[in-house]
């Protein structure tokens, strides 16, 4: 389910585009090893976002530049002249990072072969600000009162500033406006995205969402992604509720960070962007499932050396919550089939709920506690007491879930997991002793969706799979716990 390459390094998703019924996922990739170097664009595609086919390297680094993050579109009108009316080009817009100096500019590559082979545009770069940190272009087609044209949203990373440009042909770009620095500015800004969504599906209530990844300075410490809801008139993005002007010299408090909106509260969700070519109602995001604090140090298998994977694809929507629109996320997957249902009531002592969790599963948990009490759920990897497992603790008094990830025992092969991998992360939830969560478990990963998908926490587990679920109530009693285990019918 979670895409990873057969071999070598993988990080930021790039060029997410739907073309002729297939979802194309490009990504930061080192074709020659597991280290973060020689950045090129790897390539995979899928018809269902579950089963992925990996293709040969799409755009390879050259002696002059590395191919950093960017996006891809289909030039149906052939405005660029890089394809034909019958065979429109896929156009990738990426950051060309110079090898001989600190310089980043935006460049093009194009494909008239269904994205399987690519050519670098001879007129590169197409947009150069003379900057060392101008990167991560996301291109989309704007259709609105201001006209019809291509828009590029990119960042001046160290300035913590989003910059917007427009073009009629994807080749010549003119400046529109900028946004920031606002909100979280504790690290460089990267990988922006900007897109419209209808609030609760209402066609007459459309807002725009600006995603901004930053590292460090995220809500979980290190890498993270904030989002801002507002309006885009074709020139300027204006937030509905402007975040405070940020000062990178000052470390914000946890309370200040929690006043902002975050795509994910966990450590392992970064650089997420959405697909071009889907209807707004089907807006789908994929992110890199790792964290720069330890991504370069995670152990690899000698037989198949590989680092990095993607989150599950997530369908995005806006819903009104506490009087304002917030992002709602759900996994974009085919329907699941329940395979087991477990219920316990009036639990006052630790007890194992199930020891037969599939390697890939959806786990729907309904938990009801006595008011003011707490309860821990332990996802164990050994089918027994789960001593090395992930611990999810819900504190009903504080209305907060805490996920603790201990340092696993060294794996049999591939080396030790770095000490920085261990940690604990919290996420505020709507109050009350009753909670409904959806947990997606797959190949050593956990993605937790709570508050009807408006709060998400993602982390690697350090184990190949969780096989047991154990309940450990705090002082007081667990009134009831129901866990429904489901699998994808296709798996």
CATH code: domain of residue 405: 2.60.120.560
Decide: residue 222, CB within 10 A, 0-12 exposed, 13-18 middle, 19+ buried: buried
Residue 2 is assigned to a structural domain of this protein: no
Q: Which domain holds residue 472?
A: 336-488
Q: How many helices (H) and strands (E) does the chain have?
A: 1, 35
CATH number of the structural domain spanning residue 118 = 2.115.10.20
Q: Are residues 461 and 313 in the same domain?
A: no
Catalytic position from the list 12, 193, 261, 442: 12
183 by DSSP, 3-state: which? Answer: coil
Domain membership of residue 213 (yes or no) is yes
| pLDDT score, position 334 | 84
Last residue of a domain, one of 331, 364, 397: 331
Under 8 Å between Cβ of 439 and 446: yes
312 and 359 in a single domain? The answer is no
**Beta strands in 157-288, from DSSP E residues, in sequence order:** 161-167, 174-179, 188-198, 206-215, 224-232, 237-239, 261-262, 270-274, 284-288
User: Domain total for the chain?
Assistant: 2
- Among 331, 363, 395, identify where a domain stops: 331
Give the end of a domain, one of 298, 331, 364.
331
Residue 264: inside a domain, yes or no? yes
Query: What is the predicted pLDDT for the residue at 461?
Result: 92
Whether residues 219 and 119 share a domain: the answer is: yes
Cβ atoms < 10 Å from Cβ of 287: 26
Shared domain check, 378 and 278: no
The answer to whether residue 120 is domain-embedded is yes
Asked whether residue 225 falls in the same domain as residue 273, the answer is yes
Same domain, 102 and 72: yes
Q: Is the pTM of this model over 0.85?
A: yes
447 inside domain: yes
- Which residues touch 481 (CB under 8 Å, ≥6 apart)? 342, 343, 344, 345, 347, 353, 365, 366, 367, 368, 375, 471
12 is catalytic: yes
Q: Do 391 and 340 lie in a common domain?
A: yes
Q: Which two tokens stand for residue 74?
A: 């289909």
The span from the CA of 385 to the CA of 257, in Å, is 35
Q: How far is CA 361 from the centre of its chain?
A: 20
pLDDT value of position 75? 98
Are both 382 and 448 inside the same structural domain? yes
CA pair distance 94, 60, nearest whole angstrom: 12
Q: Tell whether 468 is covered by a domain.
A: yes
* Per-residue confidence (pLDDT) for residue 476, from 0 to 100: 84
- Both 316 and 349 in one domain: the answer is no
| Residue matched to tokens 């680092």 | 307
- Residues 363 and 327 reside in one and the same domain: no
pLDDT tens for the chain, 491 residues long, are 899 999 999 999 999 999 999 999 999 999 999 999 999 999 999 999 999 999 999 999 999 999 999 999 999 999 999 999 889 999 999 999 999 999 999 999 999 999 999 999 999 999 999 999 999 999 999 999 999 999 999 999 999 999 999 999 999 999 999 999 999 999 999 999 999 999 999 999 999 999 999 999 999 999 999 999 999 999 999 999 999 998 999 989 999 999 999 999 999 999 999 999 999 999 999 999 999 999 999 999 888 899 999 999 999 999 999 899 999 999 998 888 999 999 999 998 999 999 889 889 999 999 999 999 999 999 987 544 555 789 999 999 999 999 999 987 765 456 788 999 999 999 999 988 999 999 999 988 999 999 999 999 999 998 878 889 999 999 888 999 999 999 976 55
Q: In angstroms, rounded to a whole number, what is the distance separating the alpha carbons of residues 226 and 252?
A: 14
On whether both 381 and 323 belong to a single domain, the answer is no
Residue 267 shares a structural domain with residue 358: no
Token digits of residue 337: 């089939």
Inside any domain, residue 51: yes
Question: String of b and e for 383-414 (b: at least 16 CB within 10 Å)?
Answer: eeebebbbbbbbbbeeeebbbbbeebeeeeee
Please answer whether residues 268 and 8 qualify as being in contact, where contact means their C-beta atoms are separated by less than 8 angstroms: no
Q: Which of 266, 253, 272, 259 is nearest to 209 (CA)?
A: 272
The answer as to whether 3 is a domain residue is no
């Amino acid at each position: 389910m979670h895409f990873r390459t057969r071999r070598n390094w993988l990080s930021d998703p790039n060029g997410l585009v739907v073309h002729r019924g297939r979802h194309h996922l490009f990504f930061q990739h080192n074709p020659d090893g597991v280290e973060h170097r020689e950045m090129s664009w790897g390539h995979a595609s899928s018809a269902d976002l579950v089963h992925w086919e990996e293709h040969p390297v799409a755009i390879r680094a050259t002696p002059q530049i590395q191919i950093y993050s960017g996006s891809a579109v289909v030039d149906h009108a052939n405005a660029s002249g890089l394809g034909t009316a019958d065979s429109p080009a896929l156009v990738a817009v990426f950051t060309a990072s110079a090898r001989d100096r600190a310089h980043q500019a935006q460049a093009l590559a194009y494909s008239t072969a269904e994205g399987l082979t690519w050519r670098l545009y001879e007129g590169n770069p197409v947009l150069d600000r003379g900057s060392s940190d101008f990167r991560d272009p996301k291109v989309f087609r704007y259709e609105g009162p201001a006209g019809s044209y291509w828009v590029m949203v990119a960042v001046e990373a160290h300035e913590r500033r989003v910059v917007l440009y427009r073009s009629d042909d994807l080749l010549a770009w003119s400046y529109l406006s900028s946004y920031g620095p606002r909100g979280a500015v504790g690290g460089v800004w990267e990988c922006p995205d900007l897109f419209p969504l209808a609030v609760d599906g209402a066609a007459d209530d459309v807002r725009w969402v600006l995603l901004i990844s930053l590292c460090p300075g995220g809500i979980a410490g290190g890498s993270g992604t904030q989002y801002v809801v507002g309006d885009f008139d074709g020139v300027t993005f204006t937030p509905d509720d402007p975040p405070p002007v940020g000062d990178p010299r000052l470390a914000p408090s946890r309370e200040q960070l929690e006043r902002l909106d975050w795509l994910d509260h966990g450590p392992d969700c970064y650089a997420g962007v959405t697909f071009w070519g889907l209807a707004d109602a089907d807006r789908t995001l994929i992110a890199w499932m790792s964290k720069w604090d330890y991504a370069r140090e995670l152990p690899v298998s000698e037989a198949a050396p590989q680092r990095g994977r993607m989150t599950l694809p997530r369908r995005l929507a806006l819903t009104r919550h506490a009087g304002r629109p917030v992002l709602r996320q759900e996994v974009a997957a085919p329907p699941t089939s329940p395979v087991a249902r477990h219920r316990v009531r009036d639990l006052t002592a630790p007890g194992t709920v199930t020891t037969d969790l599939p390697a890939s599963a959806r786990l729907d948990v309904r938990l009801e506690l006595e008011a003011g009490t707490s309860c821990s759920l332990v996802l164990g990897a050994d089918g027994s007491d789960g001593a090395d497992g992930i611990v999810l603790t819900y504190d009903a008094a504080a209305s907060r879930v805490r996920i603790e990830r201990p340092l696993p025992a060294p794996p049999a092969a591939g080396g030790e997991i770095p000490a920085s991998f261990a940690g604990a992360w919290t996420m505020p939830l709507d109050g009350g002793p009753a909670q409904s969560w959806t947990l997606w478990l797959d190949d050593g990963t956990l993605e937790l969706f709570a508050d009807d998908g408006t709060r998400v926490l993602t982390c690697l587990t350090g184990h190949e799979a969780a096989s047991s679920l154990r309940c450990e109530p705090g002082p007081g009693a667990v009134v009831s716990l129901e866990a429904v285990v489901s699998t994808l019918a296709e798996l």
